[in-house]
Amino acid sequence: MRIIFDAMGGDNAPDETLKGARLARDEYGVEITLVGDEPLLTERAAALSIDLAGLDIRHAPTQISMEDEPTAVLKEKGDCSMAEGLRMLKSGEGDAFVSAGNTGALVVGATMIAGRLKGIKRAALTTVIPSATGAYLLADVGANAECRPEMLVQFGVMGSAYMEKIMGIAAPKVGIANIGTEPHKGTSLQQETYRLMQGAPLHFIGNAEARDIPFGVADVVVCDGFTGNIILKLTEGLAKMMAGEVKKVMFKSPLTKLGALTMAGGMKGFKDKMDYSKYGGAPLLGLKAPVIKAHGSSGAEAFQNAIRQAKTMVENGVISTIETALGEMRQKAAEGGEQ
Amino acid sequence: MRIIFDAMGGDNAPDETLKGARLARDEYGVEITLVGDEPLLTERAAALSIDLAGLDIRHAPTQISMEDEPTAVLKEKGDCSMAEGLRMLKSGEGDAFVSAGNTGALVVGATMIAGRLKGIKRAALTTVIPSATGAYLLADVGANAECRPEMLVQFGVMGSAYMEKIMGIAAPKVGIANIGTEPHKGTSLQQETYRLMQGAPLHFIGNAEARDIPFGVADVVVCDGFTGNIILKLTEGLAKMMAGEVKKVMFKSPLTKLGALTMAGGMKGFKDKMDYSKYGGAPLLGLKAPVIKAHGSSGAEAFQNAIRQAKTMVENGVISTIETALGEMRQKAAEGGEQ
């Protein structure tokens, strides 16, 4: 198995991408191709004393920046590391692609270069978010600000495959993020999605109210990318805000600091539970091969995790599981089984 | 000043509405008309030894339930306490209306019976939510699942008046809930609202990313009711979830319980800071008179707070401030100044 890795993506490239690739190669024995500016990569590797043995390099002269328009990956930046990596994925020179670069460019590039699965309208950018009872997958979190009902059903099917194959959850519960539980709640998007979900090959549990989502009411929460991005970022913001407030309480006086010492282990456990970098990067689902968007601020360890995640996606056959479910759905629809 | 109070609304009516009205009458000296089933109200008051001196009762034979369709308030339940109270408000028999009844019915009833201000397309259901730096007003939180850009601008104008007059914030910062800060972010709703906001008589600060909202990036956050309801309920759910997790850490062992004792005061302060019942009920803005939606689970104290909030809205001229701003906006638009 070979993971194609965008060595130029993210705030900390290429030093941290080089370190992360080395760690992943040593730990998981997976073959890795670093895509990027070859002279720079070999120079930085030498400077950091990183042994490149077992790490291939594919030269790409440019890189896409956060300021570039997403479509630049197809045009003026067609020779960037991200585009080159995706072409390698398309031609079968590797089994999965990992990048911490420009998210919009990755969505466009992966869709247009690596290609979508049959019947998939739009690829979904997804994220696994911790909850009180474990974690749930949220789809879409921003690749598609506006969605049609069929897309949300596909997100449910793809998210189920991911949660089953990667997180080991049998028959993941799929819910629609909504403003009430009754079938008529929300806008026409949620109402129509509700109707279509009932005929889809997944474990549909109905609407998921936002107040119940952090308690794990569903294992897969589907919504348009606008709503999903709001949910993802509000979760991040509130967790940070509340953690800060609790910290203030704990560090208020010498006495409270002493009190805080008694619960240092517990607070560490809580922090770890809420830390979603442990779930790796954001999988882009609906493509012909696994593509992982690593966080822009990833360091070596986060890159190592993202490479492991890509490896697990390949090993556990997430893509073929999605393909099978999509085929089943098409067949049902052809038989008029979707109502 | 007279507050019209739906004595039959909410899970705990009429016992807690009677108690709350008594408390408010005694504390604030405001005149109150209880609207509801007169024989029941007098019987419960006697049973609870609540002195009805200074509290008027207006008889209404029925009440609207949580299961009733919102439009029932205009038709088959036209003789309910909520409808009767709103008719009193319309005819000037009182200065503001408070109800903990069916939210949808209150939005429909207040709009159709009490009436909207000139130029207002839709009334907004709003809520003041605590943040790290104070509190912000979120509009709309569910009265209008889908919105047009002009509505969001009106929400901004009305929310500003509320935050200025009731919360004492000079020139409240108004932001659009969005998935990025740049003007082109979001759907056409946010993009067009951004353009219109620049010509509106308010302190527009641009888009408010969800991760910055809990840190008080804006004093007024506008969005469609679907997004607002998601933000409100996710905030509730996450706060509850995280508080539960912190509690688990604190009560893990005899030692941590001892440690927790040292920060009991701080945790109480944090809990109070995050408790948004202190801001009263949810003001329905855009109407000719103040209308407050008290929480369905309100007890006597929450009802007392909601009546005080209604009184403050009347005293501080929130409605006339909104009217002035709307007039200014109409004039600007007529002059072509909205650009």
pLDDT tens per residue across span B222-279: 999 999 999 999 999 999 999 999 999 999 999 999 999 999 999 999 888 888 788 8
Indicate where chain A has its CATH 3.40.718.10 domain(s).
Answer: 1-120+286-323, 126-279
Distance of residue B120 Cα from the nearest chain A Cα, in angstroms? 22
Inter-chain residue contact A131 with B252, CB threshold 8 Å: no
CATH dotted code for A1-120+286-323: 3.40.718.10
DSSP H/E element including B302? helix B300-315
Inter-chain residue contact A215 with B241, CB threshold 8 Å: yes
Q: Which residues contact A334 (CB under 8 A, 6 or more apart)?
A: none
Over the stretch B170-200, which tens digit does the pLDDT of each residue have?
999 999 999 999 999 999 999 999 999 999 9
Residue B107: what pLDDT? Answer: 96
User: Where residue B335 falls among pLDDT bands split at 50, 70, 90?
Assistant: confident
SS3 A98: strand
Task: Please report residues of B whose CB lies closer than 8 A to that of A187.
Answer: 145-146, 226
DSSP string, A18-38: HHHHHHHHHHH--EEEEEE-H
Indicate where chain B has its CATH 3.40.718.10 domain(s).
Answer: 1-120+286-316, 125-279
Find the residue in B nearest to A238 (Cα): B214
User: Where residue B339 falls among pLDDT bands split at 50, 70, 90?
Assistant: very low
CATH 3.40.718.10 fits B125-279, yes or no: yes
Inter-chain residue contact A261 with B259, CB threshold 8 Å: yes
Task: Please report residues of B whose CB lies closer than 8 A to that of A145.
Answer: 179, 186-187
Count of pairs with CB atoms under 8 A, one residue in A, one in B: 165
Find the residue in A nearest to B176 (Cα): A230
CATH level 3 topology of A126-279: Isopropylmalate Dehydrogenase (3.40.718)
Inter-chain residue contact B239 with A238, CB threshold 8 Å: yes
Residue A338: what pLDDT? Answer: 46
Inter-chain residue contact A227 with B227, CB threshold 8 Å: yes
Inter-chain residue contact A260 with B258, CB threshold 8 Å: no
Instruction: State the best of A192, A215, A249 to mutate against chain B, taking most chain B CBs within 10 Å.
Output: A249
Query: Which residues 167-206 on chain A approach chain B with CB closer than 8 angstroms?
Result: 177, 179, 186-187
Over the stretch B135-166, which tens digit does the pLDDT of each residue have?
999 999 999 999 999 999 999 999 999 999 99
Inter-chain residue contact B237 with A261, CB threshold 8 Å: no
Inter-chain residue contact A270 with B230, CB threshold 8 Å: no
Distance of residue B186 Cα from the nearest chain A Cα, in angstroms? 7
Please state which architecture CATH assigns to domain B1-120+286-316. 3-Layer(aba) Sandwich (3.40)
Please name the residue ranges forming H helices in chain A: 15-28, 38-47, 81-90, 103-109, 149-165, 188-197, 225-250, 254-262, 264-274, 300-315, 318-334
Tokens of B245: 């997790």
Residue B338: what pLDDT? Answer: 46
Task: Please report residues of A whose CB lies closer than 8 A to that of B248.
Answer: 266, 270
What does the angle CA B237 – CA B239 – CA B240 come to, to the nearest 5 degrees?
A: 65
A131, A237, A252 ranked by CB distance to B215: nearest = A237
Note down pLDDT in tens along chain A; length 339 residues. 999 999 999 999 999 999 999 999 999 999 999 999 999 999 999 999 999 999 999 999 999 999 999 999 999 999 999 999 999 999 999 999 999 999 999 999 999 999 999 999 889 999 999 999 999 999 999 999 999 999 999 999 999 999 999 999 999 999 999 999 999 999 999 999 999 999 999 999 999 999 999 999 999 999 999 999 999 999 999 999 999 999 999 999 999 999 999 999 999 998 888 887 888 899 999 999 999 999 999 999 999 999 999 999 999 999 999 999 999 988 888 886 544
Query: Which residues 92-131 on chain A approach chain B with CB closer than 8 angstroms?
Result: 131
Q: Is the Cβ of A260 closer than 8 Å to some Cβ of chain B? A: yes
Inter-chain residue contact B260 with A259, CB threshold 8 Å: yes
Query: Are the C-beta atoms of A260 and B259 separated by less than 8 Å?
Result: yes
The pLDDT mean for chain B works out to 95
> What burial letters (b/e) apply to B235-256, b meaning 16+ CB within 10 Å?
bbbbbebbbebbeebbebeeeb
